[in-house]
Every structure is written in C-alpha cells, then in structure tokens.
Chains A and B, each alone.
Chain A
Amino acid sequence: MDSNLNLINVFTPTRYWSNYLGIMFILIFASSFLNLADGASGLADIASSAIFYLIPGIYSIKYATTINSFRHAEHKTMVLEEICRRQGSFIRYLGIAYAFVFTLVTLGILAAIAIPAYNDYLQRAGG
C-alpha cells in the first residue's frame, strides 16, 4: 500500500499543469469559432481545431481527473495503471496528429512543385 502512495506522489505534480494545458487547448479550440463567419473555410478551421486542440484537451483533463480519483479508489494499482495508460495515450495521440500534419505538409509541398511542372510539360508536349 505504501508503494502505491509513493507512486501517486510521483504522478500528482503532473496533475495541475495537465489540467491547465487541457483548459488552454479547449480555449484555443473555442477561439476557432471566431472564424465561423468565413463560411466553409471557417468550418474546416473548426474541424482541424477539434482534432489538434479539443481532443488533446479532453485527453489532458481526463488524465488529471484520473489522478484525482486515486484517493477514493478501491483498487489503487488499477488506477495507477490507468493513469499511465492515459499519459501514454495523450502523447501517442499528439504524435499521430502531428504525423498526419507532417504528411499533409509534405504532400502539399510535393504537389506545389509537381503540378506546375506537369502542366508545363503538357503545354510543351501539346505545343
């Protein structure tokens, strides 16, 4: 039992900043609603904000909530395992989201180079 208390003391300091980070993520998501007046591009902005800010914000707040639930939990070890799972999932989600962005940006750069070159080639072949 003492070992569980030692372990939760390791995780507890991460709780406050995770909560804060979660709130900041959600605030940034909320600020994306200012673009709603832009029509379709505004909606796309809100959708991308949901992926990059709202979902990580929820992950972060859930992580902090799980640490809070330790005190009243019956199976302390299971709660500690859940805390670790939520932390791993949070980092993994951020990684997957940014890998997706990285892929999109790379494809965008390649398309920006390749499409004009291809059009130029077609014009020269036709002319």
Chain B
Amino acid sequence: MNNIYSTPKTVTQTIDSSESGITDTMIANLARGRKWAKFLGVCSYLYFVVLIFGLIFIAVGLFISEYAVFNFMANLLISAMIVVSIFFSFKIGRILMSYSRAIRDLQESHTLEDLTASQQYFRSFTKLLGLFFTTILAAVIVFFILMLTTGLGAMLFMN
C-alpha cells in the first residue's frame, strides 16, 4: 500500500527553453568557453603581429648580408613557414572572435540559427587548426629530409 504522506518524488526533467529544443543547460555549457574563445582570438591576433615582426627581421637578414644570421636556403624555408603561420593565425583569430560573438547571440536569442552559426565557426576552427598542424608536421618532415640529404642542419649553425 502506498504511503500517501510520503515526500513526493521529484521528477528531474530538462525543460526546453524554446521550440527548437535548445535547453538552458546546453547554452550554459557552450557559454563556458565563450570568454576563453575571445581570449584565444586575441592571443591569435597578437601571435599574428609577432610573426609579422619576425618575418620583417628575417627579410632584413636575407637582403643585408652582414646581418644575415642563417644560410639563405634555411632563411627561405623559415620565412615560408612564418608566412603560413601568419595566414593561419589571422584566420583562426577571426574565427574564434566570431565564434565567441555567435555564442553571445545564442545566449540572447536561444534560436537554432545562432546555434548553427556558432557550430559552423567551431567546425572552421577545428578544420583550420587541424590543417595548420598538418602543414607543420609536413614541414618538419621535409626539413628533416633536407637536413639529411643536403646538410641543411649543419648550414643552420655554420654562419
């Protein structure tokens, strides 16, 4: 027989905040990374600026021989890597800022459109970072092969 005086059992159920099925918990969970995404975006822009300065210094080293630190070929390879890094850091910075903005919009609107936009930015971020790491790994392998075949490693430390 049921005890009618017992404490009623609470049924925990996530309540949909809109017809789209997006719950407050989902938005709160996504929002955990919003400010960090903005911070990472700013860091990425800073990295972009630092890399541009690095490229300028290397270019100066390339064309003014008395200031040249490394061999010409090694300098060219490093410059190519820096150019690639400049491209990726700028794009990643812009995407992370947009992702942060999209999450902020989602917090206000709770709509599927804003969620879709934020996920498109997240997808672009993972895609670009993945491609960036692939490029870096490929460059390291090429560099390693060049070091073995042409003695590039020795040239780096000769001048």
Contact = CB atoms under 8 A, between A and B. Distances in A.
Contacts, number: 106
Interface residues of B, number: 38
Grouping DSSP codes into helix (H, G, I), strand (E, B) and loop, the B interface class, with mixed when no group exceeds half, is helix
Given A24-B133, A78-B14, A98-B40, A88 B31 contact: yes
Contacts of A77: 14, 21, 23
Interface in B35-51: 35-37, 39-40, 43
A28 B133 contact: yes
A80 B25 CA distance: 10
A18 interface: yes
Interface in A4-18: 4, 6-7, 10-11, 13-14, 17-18
B36 to A, nearest CB: 3
B139 to A, nearest CB: 12
Chain A, interface size: which category?
35 or more
Contact of B32 (A14, A31, A92, A98): A92
B130 A24 contact: yes
7 contacts: A10-B116, A14-B119, A17-B123, A24-B134, A60-B126, A88-B30, A95-B39
Interface of A: 3-4, 6-7, 10-11, 13-14, 17-18, 20-21, 24-25, 27-28, 31, 60, 77-78, 80-81, 84-85, 87-92, 94-96, 98-99, 102
